[in-house]
């Protein structure tokens, strides 16, 4: 600019030298004005005072020194110089930056003698050029909060192998050189990141204050990249360290080798199985065939072939159902009532009376003692008129329906029927009375007429097997007043009873049915033993129906009872301690049964005697 002006001026002066002085001065002024205008125009187009610089930040790598950087603004075309000024805390003293060069261009470095921590620095930068200067916005800095260390150093990663274990990566590093972690001036925490060389994403791990880290289960044969960075407990994270590479040697996971072993063994076992399938004998040994349901005599092949007659013929079993002599016989059922029920016979009054007395007297199942029976009998004298006396078995004191052994009772036996009646044939259906008093005296009134007692002519029952004993003829007792006798009910009676029975089935479990096989001599019944199942039907065992089989009658007043199998030890009531377990199939037992002593009820409800 000035050059131009001077040139113009000199040229003009030379040119004007010729002219007179007056003209020279006038022309010089004009030139000067022109040049000034010219310069002004030029200046506004290109040169200006510097624009505002901007402080980009300050950092301290170890909390002892720090550096600040700035960004220059537009410099206006002229060379600009920058200077940094700061004030400490609240003081007004302004200091200038001590070192502009150590940290590079556009920076200011504060060494450790000039750095105070916990002190607030107010920093500004001024840009100056020929035309002017401008000042940046001030920035407040406290060194403590601007700590950003350098990267950790000596980052190493190796594969570490114990003897038998799988190998793992061990990464180690050191804190950056200048940071003083020994004296506790700075506490550093570290972070590590790992990546497969072929992989995409980094896996980051926080390592705390420790200077090593383990990475387990690396992939065999791969190359890993490891980087570490650090940060003071309140400050900024450093940059990531340069990458360290580590190669993992080939190895087999112990876990994987275990799986391989398992796979081999199972393949082996599988092979053995398939081999045995081909060899049937071995197969049958290892995998026995599952039994299929088979009907004997049923030939599936025949069925398939379509010959139904032969098939069905095969199904027929010879000899079934078992036929017996008594095919012609009308099978009837004897209904055996409890005492009370029988006594009820004649009408409800009697029944009630009997029942009442009975109940009063007894504390067990309702079966009175022998005495009570007599009592009853006496009270129920009306019964003499021919009340239907159903044989009733209960006597005795066993808790359940004790079977009454009528033979033990003198009275009863005298009634004569009892022993005879209760002769084994009577079978075992003595209903226990425990529960309710039977309301039904259904057809009892009709009975008496039929009740006859043959007296002593009853053939004694011969000993039979257990099951057959009941087939003996049942002797009917003499029709003494108030005595019980075994009544044979005609069909219709039975039916009636049956019906009524059903009605009262639930409550009155004490009645039992005996199947009558034959009737002899008008007054003898040959009774079938009640099948156990049937019996069970009517008298579910747990209810305590107790039956005892009478084996024989002796002397007209002694009942030989048959000890029964005690399948379940279900005896309730007092006198059970002495009850023996009896084995099946032992028929013998016969002891006179004076009803006075206690009797045991076997589980099936049979009266047994306690062993002496």
Using the minimum distance from each CB to other proteins, give the nearer residue, 147 or 559: 147
Output the smallest distance, CB 110 to other proteins, in A: 11
CB of 99 to other proteins, least distance (A): 16
Query: b/e string for 261-282 if b means 16 or more Cβ within 10 A?
Result: eeeeeeeeeeeeeeebeeeeee
Closest contact distance (angstroms) between CB of 64 and other proteins is 5
* Shortest reach from residue 62's CB to other proteins, in Å: 9
Rg of the chain taking only CA atoms, in angstroms: 63
Q: Residue 383 burial (CB < 10 Å; 0-12/13-18/19+)?
A: buried
CB of 572 to other proteins, least distance (A): 53
How far is residue 390's CA from residue 345's CA, in Å, rounded to a whole number? Answer: 9
Comparison of 185 and 259: residue with beta carbon closer to other proteins: 185
Please, are residues 441 and 380 in contact by the beta-carbon 8 Å criterion? Answer: no
Nearest approach in angstroms of CB 206 to other proteins is: 17
Residue number, 5 or 122, with CB nearest to other proteins: 122
Least Å from the CB of residue 213 to other proteins: 23
Specify the residue, 183 or 323, whose C-beta has the smaller distance to other proteins. Answer: 183
Which three-class secondary structure state does DSSP give residue 377? Answer: helix
Q: Which is nearer to other proteins, 120 or 324 (CB)?
A: 120
Contact present, 556 and 408 (Cβ < 8 Å): no
Residues paired with residue 196 on neighbouring β-strands, in sequence order:
224
Of residues 183 and 201, the one with the C-beta less far from other proteins: 183
Cβ-based nearer residue to other proteins, 211 or 373: 211
How far apart (Å, rounded) are the C-alpha atoms in residues 203 and 196? 9
Residue number with CB closer to other proteins (14 or 183): 183
d(CA 408, CA 399): 18
Report how far residue 318's alpha carbon sits from residue 286's, in angstroms, rounded to the nearest whole number. Answer: 39
Report how far apart, in Å, the C-alpha atoms of 262 and of each of 132, 252, 256, 267, 270 are: 86, 15, 10, 8, 12
Smallest gap from Cβ 59 to other proteins, in A, equals 15
The pair of structure tokens assigned to 275 is 């081999």
Output the CA–CA distances (angstroms, integers) from residue 381 to 344, 373, 419, 474, in the order listed.
Answer: 11, 12, 20, 25
Confirm if 107 and 68 have CB atoms less than 8 A apart: yes
Return the residue matching tokens 């790598």.
Answer: 61
Question: Which residues sit at the interface with other proteins, rule CB under 8 A?
Answer: 63-64, 89-90, 112-113, 115-120, 122, 138, 140, 142, 144, 180, 182-185, 187, 233-234
Q: Which helix (H) or strand (E) is 332 found in, with range? A: strand 332-336
Q: Smallest gap, in angstroms, from Cβ of residue 121 to other proteins? A: 9
CA atoms lying within 13 Å on the CB side of residue 540: 6
Task: Give CA–CA dist 45/47, Å, rounded.
Answer: 7
Q: Which residues of 21-47 are buried (b: 16+ CB within 10 A; e: fewer)?
A: eeebeeeeeebeeebeeeeeeeeeeee
Q: Rank residues 145 and 245 by Cβ distance to other proteins and give the closer one.
A: 145
Strand ranges for 117-268 from DSSP E: 120-129, 132-135, 139-142, 153-160, 168-174, 188-196, 203-208, 212-216, 223-232, 244-247
Closest separation in Å from C-beta 72 to other proteins: 23
Closest CB 217 distance from other proteins, rounded Å:
35
For residues 179 and 344, which CB has a smaller minimum distance to other proteins in the complex?
Answer: 179
Nearer to other proteins, 210 or 217 (CB): 210
């Amino acid at each position: 600019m000035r050059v131009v002006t001077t040139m113009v001026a000199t040229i003009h002066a030379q040119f004007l030298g010729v002219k007179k002085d007056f003209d020279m001065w006038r022309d010089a002024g004009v030139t000067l004005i022109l040049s000034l205008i010219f310069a002004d125009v030029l200046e506004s187009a290109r040169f200006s005072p510097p624009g505002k610089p901007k402080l980009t930040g300050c950092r301290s790598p170890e909390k002892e020194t720090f550096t600040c950087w700035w960004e220059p603004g537009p410099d206006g075309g002229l060379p600009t110089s920058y200077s940094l000024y700061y004030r400490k805390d609240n003081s007004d003293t302004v200091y200038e930056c001590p070192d502009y060069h150590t940290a590079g261009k556009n920076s200011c470095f504060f060494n450790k003698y000039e750095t105070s921590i916990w002190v607030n620095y107010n920093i500004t930068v001024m840009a100056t050029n020929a035309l002017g200067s401008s000042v940046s916005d001030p920035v407040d800095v406290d060194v403590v909060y601007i700590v950003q260390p350098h990267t950790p150093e000596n980052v190493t990663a190796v594969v570490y192998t114990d003897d038998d274990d799988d190998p793992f990566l061990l990464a180690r590093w050191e804190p950056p050189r200048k940071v003083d972690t020994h004296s506790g001036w700075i506490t550093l925490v570290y972070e590590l990141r790992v990546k497969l060389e072929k992989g995409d994403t980094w896996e980051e791990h926080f390592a705390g204050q420790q200077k090593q880290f383990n990475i387990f289960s690396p992939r065999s044969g791969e190359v890993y990249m490891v980087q570490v960075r650090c940060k003071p407990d309140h400050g900024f994270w450093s940059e990531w360290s340069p990458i360290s590479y580590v190669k993992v040697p080939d190895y087999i996971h112990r876990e994987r080798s275990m799986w391989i072993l398992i796979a081999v063994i199972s393949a082996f076992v599988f092979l053995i199985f398939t081999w045995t399938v081909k060899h049937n004998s071995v197969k049958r040994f290892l995998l026995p065939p599952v039994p299929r349901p088979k009907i004997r005599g049923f030939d599936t092949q025949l069925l398939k072939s379509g010959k139904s007659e032969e098939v069905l013929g095969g199904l027929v079993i010879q000899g079934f159902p078992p036929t017996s002599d008594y095919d012609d016989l009308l099978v009837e059922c004897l209904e055996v009532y409890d005492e009370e029920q029988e006594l009820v016979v004649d009408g409800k009054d009697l029944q009630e009376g009997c029942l009442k007395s009975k109940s009063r007297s007894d504390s067990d199942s309702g079966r009175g003692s022998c005495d009570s029976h007599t009592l009853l009998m006496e009270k129920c004298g009306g019964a003499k008129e021919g009340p239907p006396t159903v044989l009733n078995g209960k006597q005795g004191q066993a808790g359940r329906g004790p079977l009454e052994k009528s033979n033990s009772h003198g009275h009863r036996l005298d009634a004569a029927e009892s022993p005879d009646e209760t002769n084994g044939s009577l079978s075992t259906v003595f209903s226990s009375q425990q529960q309710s008093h039977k309301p039904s005296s259904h057809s009892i009134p009709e009975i008496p007429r039929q009740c006859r007692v043959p007296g002593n002519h009853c053939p004694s029952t011969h000993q039979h097997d257990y099951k057959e004993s009941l087939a003996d003829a049942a002797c009917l007792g003499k029709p003494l007043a108030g005595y019980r006798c075994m009544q044979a009910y005609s069909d219709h009676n039975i039916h009636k009873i049956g019906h009524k029975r059903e009605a009262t089935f639930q409550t009155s479990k004490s009645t039992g049915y005996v199947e009558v096989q034959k009737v002899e001599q008008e007054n003898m019944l040959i009774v079938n033993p009640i099948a156990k199942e049937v019996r069970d039907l009517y008298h579910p065992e747990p209810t305590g129906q107790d039956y005892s089989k009478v084996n024989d009658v002796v002397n007209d007043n002694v009942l030989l009872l048959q000890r029964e199998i005690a399948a379940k030890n279900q005896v309730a009531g007092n006198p059970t301690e002495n009850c023996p377990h009896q084995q099946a199939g032992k028929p013998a037992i016969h002891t006179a049964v004076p009803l006075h002593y206690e009797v045991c009820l076997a589980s099936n409800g049979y009266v047994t005697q306690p062993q002496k």
